[in-house]
Amino acid sequence: MSDQTVCVIIDGQEVRCPAGCTVYEAATTAGIHIPTFCHHPKLVPVGACRQCLVEVEGMRGLQTACTTPVRDNMVVKVHTSPAAVKARKANIEFLLTNHPLDCPVCDKGGECPLQNQAMQDGPGQSRYVEEKRHKNKRYPLSELIVLDQERCVLCWRCIRFLDEWADDHELDLFGRGADTRIDTFPGRPLRSKWQGNTIDICPVGALTSRIFRFEARVWELTNTASVCPLCGVGCNIVLGVKNQKVRRITPRENMEVNDTWICDKGRFAHGFVDHPDRLKTPLIRRNGKLEPATWEEALDLIAARLNAILQEDGPQAMAALGSNQVTNEANYLLQRFMRVVLGTNNVDHIGRIPTGATPLTSLPGLEHRDVIVLLGCDPSTEAPLVELWIKKAVLRHGARVLVANPHQIELCRYGGPWLGYRPGGEVALLNGLVRAVLDVGAKDQAARAANIEESRSWLKAYTPERVEPLCGTPAAALRQAAEVLVQARRPLFLVGPAWTKGSGEQRAFDALANLTLLLNDAETGFVAGDANAWGALQMGVAPHWYPGQQPCQDPEIRNRLSSFWGTKLSPVPGLDWDGMLPACAQGKLKGMWIIGSDPAHRSQTAGEALKRIPFLVVQDLFMTETATLAQVVLPTASFAETEGTLTNLTGRLQMIRPAKRPPGQARPDWWIITELARRMVESKRQKSWDFASAASVFQEIAKVIPGYRGLSYTTLGEAGWQPAPAQVKARRHLVRVEADPPSADPNYPLELVTGRLLYDRGTLLRRASRIQNLVPSPYVIIHPDTANQFGIAHGDPVWLISSQGQLPFTVLVSDEIVAGTVFVPWNVSDPPVGMLVSEPEGLTRVRLAKQE
């Protein structure tokens, strides 16, 4: 489309529009409605349904408005042309001859374009008296979607969406003529993680959700605008509730986040919200058993026990864990409680974003990156919408995707190259790339580093050939990647949580900065996997940071916040999660409060340590493994039942809103923390804890965090608020970062790599029944060399053994993993693979043994 505008006359109205746009688009901008079925604003037009026929002066016959480009001074008649009106009416009648009139039992009824247009433009009655044609009426395309081939009007929207956006060509037209139908490859269900979107864009009730099917008529639903809590993207969604139960989730357009799409996990996994397993009353341990109690009893007991610990052991004997899954308001209040009421900085959360990471600046901006480098990051499973934006860059603009990951991920399908590495080899890999970029690049690469001459000496050791034994990445792949990087105009490095585990945060980011400083206009963004990872950090649920990442060690900030909160804040450095574990084990921690996290499930070490805490309070949705160890368990409201904000992976603040009441006595986190605080502070200071709503908590957050000044729930609105990108000071010098030698342990010769799957058996998804049918049985992927070494074949049952224990798996032998490592998906096996991991979490080494 060019910048030129042309003038067209539509139904006598003069319309200015960009040259090259279609008649349909021109009419839409002028507010003139043209009915359509196959046309969709997000898809390439095909002109298949003939519903948008219009008359164009000087053109023979009627034209499809969706495919006809405008010309200057074109005269179009939509509603003023009797021929076009008649043709559109006939088309509706024609579509309806074979379309079953089962609207009373069709899920689309009430929001169906065919129904609406039949009312608006149709003839009102049918002349067709013969029997309608019959095709498959209840035809499951997958675990999630069912197709009614009789209702289908063959508009191709579903096929085109999967082609143009998801790049999953899994649907197509089969047969011919009157017998044409939508189908999949024989015997192969849809596997795309984007299939749910085809339900939304189906203009009739042909594609319907197997989870929502017959749950409600759409007009019975109360719709609430909210945000998906299942990954860091924070897709905008609508919760449809009937009779206090979430019946369906549909996407809500936000061009800065998810366009109009959501992944199937976000759409179909809401079963946990209304699951009978939800905690409904507070529980108190009496005679060794957790028994139901009232909120009064539970909160009074916690207040009394915490006060006693405060008296006997002092504030440092207590700690709390917030969560990167719960709201900002809950996290903010938790750290406020710990710092202000108890007087300790012992507050942290698990999976904290590594120091040195910066948020991605923009999701739609991904489309305009010509090279995207994924470092220990698998968007397809960790943040699916990021994958969709990357695919847009690849499919529409030919972007390259380089993948540094121990095993091949879905996005390797675009040719990579795949830079397989052994965990711990991250620095070696990056140094190898720096060296290769300097080798293949011209002078301009070298000229970007001010200290290039001194640096050449230490970089000598990192030729691709020398790097290969250090990290397992083939030298040829490194060179190939360097060629791509040197030519990149605007490369983007996406860093995942796995990237910093092996080499440490500082070194991993320093080595990466060395590489980016040599390239054109490079940006680095961290892809947080959890819904509120940035939020938890921003809210100060970290021992060394007050809200807004203001350092606790700065006396000026401490004084300012002391006077704001009306108490003297402790200067004693707090314990982080890694520090809390030994403190638990040594009996130094007497009381602990854990909100929205399940450390006992993540590792055996954590479970053992938490058992030694005399007074453990767990606040969650379900009876988690950690909750079974607690003295008091508090039932909390889910994302569908509370108001609050989440901060997504671009730092965007977005609101979740209550769509239904929480089950039983469950209460929002902010209410629980506030109530407990009011029981513990003296009466004259209770005023500082009189939060009446999540909104009033957010008001205070906006005052405490410098960048949030002036924000309120009203200003966040439906679309959320995007902070200005942080100014990262570009380095001009290469910093010397040396790679570690590869670790070796003859007893445990293999490196364990864990990763998320899109569908797993975690706390929430375990309660989404249909989704569970898509989770594979526990497996371990090993390299053919490893298989030979251990005498193991594809499909063998094996034990995976670490110093912590052993777990059974089925072996998949594949060369899509780097030799010397094994891959196990997280949250699939029971007991969880965390059983093999020791905390503090670094790398875990394992060996294999055949099961007898």
Query: What's the min distance (Å) between Cβ of 172 and another protein?
Result: 4
| Nearer to another protein (CB atom), residue 156 or residue 713 | 156
Query: What's the min distance (Å) between Cβ of 660 and another protein?
Result: 39
Cβ-Cβ contacts under 8 Å for 790 (sequence gap 6 or more):
782, 798, 847, 848, 849, 850
Nearest alpha carbon to residue 22 among 73, 59, 65: 65
Residue count (the chain): 852
Sign of the dihedral through C-alpha 690, 695, 700, 704: positive
DSSP 638-707: -TTS--EEEE-TT--EEEE---SPPSTT-B-HHHHHHHHHHHHS-GGGGGGG---SHHHHHHHHHHHSGG
Q: How far apart are CA 20 and CA 572, in angstroms?
A: 66
Q: How far apart are CA 656 and CA 666, in angstroms?
A: 17
Q: How far apart are CA 561 and CA 714, in angstroms?
A: 26
| Nearer to another protein (CB atom), residue 52 or residue 152 | 152
| Nearer to another protein (CB atom), residue 174 or residue 779 | 174
| Nearer to another protein (CB atom), residue 182 or residue 299 | 182
In what helix (H) or strand (E) does residue 28 lie, and over which residues does it extend?
helix 23-29
Q: Does residue 192 contact residue 162 with C-beta atoms inside 8 Å?
A: yes
Strand pairing partners for 527?
none
SS3 371: strand
| Nearer to another protein (CB atom), residue 124 or residue 186 | 186
Residue 189: count of CB within 10 angstroms of its CB? 15
Query: What's the min distance (Å) between Cβ of 413 and another protein?
Result: 12
Query: What's the min distance (Å) between Cβ of 133 and another protein?
Result: 16
| Nearer to another protein (CB atom), residue 185 or residue 214 | 185
Query: What's the min distance (Å) between Cβ of 187 and another protein?
Result: 6
Q: What pairing do the DSSP bridges indicate for beta strands 5-10 and 53-56?
A: unpaired
Query: What's the min distance (Å) between Cβ of 185 and another protein?
Result: 5
| Nearer to another protein (CB atom), residue 16 or residue 188 | 188
| Nearer to another protein (CB atom), residue 60 or residue 176 | 176
Q: How far apart are CA 653 and CA 649, in angstroms?
A: 10
Query: What's the min distance (Å) between Cβ of 158 and another protein?
Result: 12
Query: What's the min distance (Å) between Cβ of 183 and another protein?
Result: 8
Q: What pairing do the DSSP bridges indicate for beta strands 347-348 and 318-321?
A: parallel
| Nearer to another protein (CB atom), residue 187 or residue 288 | 187
Using CA atoms, how far residue 793 sits from 750, 778, 810, 819, in Å, is: 17, 16, 10, 15
Can the peptide bond before residue 423 be classed as cis, meaning omega within 30 degrees of 0? no
Query: What's the min distance (Å) between Cβ of 769 and another protein?
Result: 28
| Nearer to another protein (CB atom), residue 164 or residue 172 | 172
Using CA atoms, how far residue 301 sits from 617, 684, 733, in Å, is: 11, 22, 57
DSSP secondary structure letter of residue 70: P
Q: Does residue 158 contact residue 201 with C-beta atoms inside 8 Å?
A: yes
Query: What's the min distance (Å) between Cβ of 193 and another protein?
Result: 16
| Nearer to another protein (CB atom), residue 166 or residue 241 | 166
Helix axes 555-565, 694-704, angle to 10 degrees: 150
Cα torsion for 314, 327, 670, 308, to the nearest 10°?
A: -20
Query: What's the min distance (Å) between Cβ of 154 and another protein?
Result: 13
| Nearer to another protein (CB atom), residue 58 or residue 186 | 186
CA 808 to chain centre: 29
Task: Using the CB atoms, write b or e for 541-575: b if 16+ within 10 Å.
Answer: bbbebbbbbbebeeeeebeebbeebebebbeeebb
Q: How far apart are CA 42 and CA 593, in angstroms?
A: 47
Query: For residue 221, with 0-12 CB atoms within 10 Å meaning exposed, 13-18 middle and 19 or more buried, which class applies?
Result: buried
Query: What's the min distance (Å) between Cβ of 36 and another protein?
Result: 24
Binding interface with another protein (CB under 8 A) = 169-176, 183-188
| Nearer to another protein (CB atom), residue 206 or residue 589 | 206
Q: How far apart are CA 357 and CA 114, in angstroms?
A: 49
| Nearer to another protein (CB atom), residue 176 or residue 443 | 176
The first and second tokens of residue 574, run together, are 């707090």
Query: What's the min distance (Å) between Cβ of 180 and another protein?
Result: 9
Query: What's the min distance (Å) between Cβ of 783 and another protein?
Result: 23
Q: Taking the chain, what is the end-to-end CA distance rounded to the nearest angstrom? A: 66
Sign of the dihedral through C-alpha 803, 805, 806, 812: negative
| Nearer to another protein (CB atom), residue 187 or residue 746 | 187
Cβ-Cβ contacts under 8 Å for 288 (sequence gap 6 or more):
none
Query: What's the min distance (Å) between Cβ of 168 and another protein?
Result: 9
113: left (phi over 0), alpha (psi -120 to 50) or beta: alpha
Query: What's the min distance (Å) between Cβ of 189 and another protein?
Result: 12
| Nearer to another protein (CB atom), residue 188 or residue 213 | 188
Nearest alpha carbon to residue 302 among 285, 280, 327: 285
Query: What's the min distance (Å) between Cβ of 184 and another protein?
Result: 6
Query: What's the min distance (Å) between Cβ of 173 and another protein?
Result: 6
SS3 207: strand
